[in-house]
Amino acid sequence: MNVLILTRAGDAYATGPVIEALRARGGRPWVLETERFPTQVGLTWRGPGEGTLTLPGQGAVELSEMEAVWARRSALPALPPELPPDVRQGAAKEAYHQLMGALLDSPAFFMDPPAVYQRARTKALQLRLARQVGLAVPRTLESNDPEAVRAFAATCPGGLIAKMYNDLRVDGGTIFTNRIGPEELEHIDDVVGCPMIFQEAVPKALELRVIVVGLQVFAMALDSQALAGAELDWRRTGAQDIERWRPYALPADVRAAMLRLHDALGSNYGAADMILTPAGEHVLLESNGVGECFWFYPHLPVAEAIADLLLGRVERRAPPRSLR
Domain boundaries, the chain: 2-111, 118-136+202-301+313-323, 140-200
Strand ranges across the sheet with 59-62 = 42-47, 50-55, 59-62
Burial state string for 254-277 with b = 16 or more CB within 10 A and e = fewer than 16: bbebbbbbbebbbbbbbbbbbbbe
Q: Is the whole model's pTM more than 0.85, yes or no?
A: yes
User: Which residue from 199, 190, 139, 189 is spatially nearest to 165, judged by alpha carbons?
Assistant: 199
Evaluate if residue 181 carries a pLDDT over 90: no
Residues 6+ apart with CB under 8 A from 263: 317
What is the DSSP pairing of strand 59-62 with strand 50-55? antiparallel
Return phi, psi of residue 25, to 5°. -100, 10
pLDDT classification of 170: cutoffs 50, 70, 90:
very low
Distance of alpha carbon 154 from its chain centroid, rounded? 32
Q: Does domain 118-136+202-301+313-323 have CATH number 3.40.50.2000?
A: no
pLDDT classification of 261: cutoffs 50, 70, 90:
very high
CA distances for 37 relative to 83, 216, 228, 282, angstroms:
16, 33, 42, 42
User: Which residue from 228, 230, 161 is spatially nearest to 201, judged by alpha carbons?
Assistant: 161
Helices (H) and strands (E) in the chain, counts: 8, 18
pLDDT digits (tens, 9 = 90+) for 80-138: 889 998 898 899 999 999 999 999 999 999 999 999 999 999 999 999 999 999 999 99
User: Which residue from 215, 237, 227, 235 is spatially nearest to 286, judged by alpha carbons?
Assistant: 235
Q: Report the DSSP beta bridge partners of residue 312.
A: none
Give the pLDDT mean for 51-72. Answer: 97
Report the CATH number of the 2-111 domain. 3.40.50
pLDDT classification of 173: cutoffs 50, 70, 90:
very low
pLDDT classification of 229: cutoffs 50, 70, 90:
low
Q: Report the DSSP beta bridge partners of residue 74.
A: none
Give the pLDDT mean for 270-278. Answer: 97
Q: What is the dihedral of CA 260, 324, 65, 26, to 10 degrees?
A: 0
The radius of gyration of the chain's CA atoms, rounded to the nearest angstrom, is 21
Average predicted confidence (pLDDT) for the chain: 91
